[in-house]
Amino acid sequence: MDTLSSCFVEETREEEDEEEKKDDSQIEELAFGKPQKPSIWAPCVYYRPGREVYSYVGHKIVIEEGLDSYAGMIWPAALALCHYLDTHQDQWSLVDKAVLEIGTGTGLVSIVAALLGGWVTATDLPDVLNNTRANLSRNTRGRCRHTPQVAALSWGYELENTYPPSIYRYDYVLAADVVYHHAFLDELLVTMKHFCKPGTTLIWANRVRFESDLVFTDNFHKAFHSNLLLEDGEMKIYAATSREGEREKHEDMEIHGEEKRVTDEDESSEGKKECKEKLDCAKQEVTKEEGGDEEEESSDEEEESGETLSPREDDEPKNKDLMNDHAPEPEVTEQRPVQQSWVPRIICRASKDIYHYAGEDIVIYESIDSYGGMMWPAALALCSFLEDNRNTVNLQGKEVLELGAGTGLVTVVASLLGASVTATDLPEILGNLRANVMRNTRGRCRHTPQVAALSWGYDLENTYPPSIYRYDYVLAADVVYHHAFLDELLVTMKHFCKPGTTLIWANRVRFESDLVFMDNFHKAFHSSLLLEDGEMKIYAATSREGEDVDKNKLNRIKA
């Protein structure tokens, strides 16, 4: 089945690539009537991200990776958790259960939980929810008992007001590979504790990568009653329940004495019984599946982290029922490789683009989020031009604005060339843009680049008053795409390109409306053609308001 599916997808992609090539060649023939010479702006390495297809719960699940920072990618712990939930439905039945996923990302875990019958709410930061919502909708519509919900959640932020425990109570909280923003691990733990109340089971899958992961794991064990469900190399899945009832019970014992303590134990045992049975049952199932070697590893794990799996010393009498019995040390057996049961059946893997500019390797993730998440050829052309013409276009210490920054490649290159850059685009594009800029400039640049929202032509005098926002250069690459907003684009260019500012615009002509915009561009500015490579053109332009000064500057760049 997998082989047939894989062949079908590969053949489909090849056919699509051939059709795209035909379309491009036809456009070039119609526009220019002759073959084009090799372009000087061609990238060193170029990949086209695709999609991933998985099979869980008897369904084919198609995931479009947004590659939007961390949240747009499929991470290994998500695959491990999906496989675990799919293969342990008897121990962890999600049917008609209220399920919350934190850090849902692409939505794969939430999709599987919904297909397993759960009433799922998928949460993440607001700027990644578009892709999450699309993936959930396409993979659960008409397949699930309950329609999954998508909601914004910022870890640790006003949780009591936005998600009051009296209203938002869940049977299960799921989390997979959420230990990545290492500056926000305290907020993550606070969020886990907020939602994992008595009666709730938290299932957390994680792959250890850094030392800080281990610190968080220790804090996790201290915060919850936890149990290791699965260990596969550095991949671990834990189940955890709240310690809140335990603390309240301890306080009652001190106040009311031995008789009150016994009464409380009887009453509270019912609330914990179900969670304990689930933990014990799941642990026994893992032991049966993975045999003696895995049992030995599990025993070692318990011994090494005894303080996390055992109750506190002062709580020992009342928590005796929650303690894990240590099995006798098994005989040493021959070690064998652990088979990774969570390895997915991936038909195609989205990739990344790697470029080399300004002496640095630049890793760009495309989010495929409308036009703004893709790499366009004019961006490559402009990056090559800026790198090859540092003497005439010196960005060292200059204030630079980029319009329609998209994936952020031009901003990254301009920053590496010494500029203080502000990258702008529509709000829904900024997550991936910010991530690309951050990962490629941190520790490399004189000035930390900024990322800001900008809607062309909208309230510019108030949001970007010229008296405050003045730039030496305005950069724009392949911004002529939304043909219904070309007037707004020109208004925006004129707003920022004041006397003393140089606008450098790279464009590849595709439609007749491009030529109309180009005519209006030349009328609005003093412009000069800096580079022409087939249908690719790069222009420099200055304002007509201060004609004499800007004409001289334009002539120097052109020379």
Least confident span in 73-87, 150-164, 350-364: 350-364
- 3-state DSSP assignment of residue 102: strand
Q: Rounded to the nearest 10 degrees, how much is the dihedral formed by the CA atoms of 185, 187, 188, 191?
A: 160
Residues 368 and 418 in one domain: yes
- Does any domain span residue 275? yes
φ/ψ (deg, to 5) at 19:
-65, -40
Residues 115 and 248 in one domain: yes
Measured distance CA(49)–CA(115) in Å, rounded: 27
**Cβ distance 200 to 172 under 8 Å?**
yes
Instruction: Find all residues with CB under 8 Å of 116, minimum gap 6, and list them.
Output: 57, 85, 86, 89, 93, 94, 95
For the residues 320-347, what does the mean pLDDT come to? 42
**Nearest 5 degrees, angle CA 219-CA 222-CA 228?**
90
Residues 120 and 264 in one domain: yes
Residues 240 and 154 in one domain: yes
Residues 236 and 384 in one domain: no
Residues 163 and 78 in one domain: yes
For residue 75, the 8-state DSSP code is -
Tell me: pLDDT of 261 over 50: no
- Does any domain span residue 226? yes
Among 249, 241, 303, which Cα is nearest to 272's? 241
Q: Which residue has the higher pLDDT, 437 or 305?
A: 437
Structure confidence by residue, pLDDT tens digits, 475-499: 999 998 767 788 999 999 999 999 9
Residues 406 and 310 in one domain: no
Q: Which residues pair with 173 in a beta bridge?
A: 100, 202
The reported pLDDT for the residue numbered 376 is: 82
- Does any domain span residue 224? yes
- Does any domain span residue 429? yes
- Does any domain span residue 423? yes
φ/ψ (deg, to 5) at 332:
-70, 125
- Does any domain span residue 32? no
Q: Are strands 353-357 and 360-364 parallel, antiparallel or unpaired?
A: antiparallel
Measured distance CA(356)–CA(242) in Å, rounded: 50
- Does any domain span residue 331? no
Measured distance CA(91)–CA(88) in Å, rounded: 5
* 193 band by pLDDT with thresholds 50, 70 and 90: very high
Of 304, 321, 338, which one is at a domain's C-terminal end? Answer: 321
DSSP string for 2-71: HHHHHHHHHHHHHHHHHHHHHHHHHHHHHHHSSPPPPPTT--SS------EEEEETTEEEEE-----GGG
- Does any domain span residue 18? no
Structure confidence by residue, pLDDT tens digits, 348-376: 333 478 899 999 999 988 765 455 667 88
Among 199, 278, 269, 265, which Cα is nearest to 238's? 278
Measured distance CA(174)–CA(239) in Å, rounded: 10
The reported pLDDT for the residue numbered 70 is: 63
Angle subtended by helix axes 108-115 and 76-87, to nearest 10: 10
Report the percent of the chain where pLDDT is more than 70: 67
Measured distance CA(226)–CA(416) in Å, rounded: 46
What's the length of the chain? 559
The residue segments making up the domain with residue 533 are: 353-558
CA 238 and chain centroid, separation: 23
Instruction: Find all residues with CB under 8 Å of 369, minimum gap 6, and list them.
Output: 66, 68, 130, 131, 428, 429, 432
Residues 173 and 59 in one domain: yes
Residues 360 and 417 in one domain: yes
Residue identified by tokens 């991470």 is 75
Q: Average model confidence (pLDDT) for the chain? A: 77
Residues 387 and 520 in one domain: yes
Surface-to-core class of residue 241, CB atoms within 10 Å of its CB (0-12 exposed, 13-18 middle, 19+ buried): buried
Residues 258 and 398 in one domain: no
- How many domains does the chain divide into? 2
CATH of residue 143's domain is: 3.40.50.150
The reported pLDDT for the residue numbered 267 is: 44
Tell me: pLDDT of 396 over 60: yes
Q: Are strands 536-543 and 525-533 parallel, antiparallel or unpaired?
A: antiparallel
Structure confidence by residue, pLDDT tens digits, 498-537: 999 999 999 988 777 788 899 999 999 999 999 998 888 9
Measured distance CA(294)–CA(99) in Å, rounded: 29
Structure confidence by residue, pLDDT tens digits, 87-127: 999 999 999 999 999 999 999 999 999 999 999 999 998 87
Residues 416 and 301 in one domain: no
Measured distance CA(129)–CA(325) in Å, rounded: 43
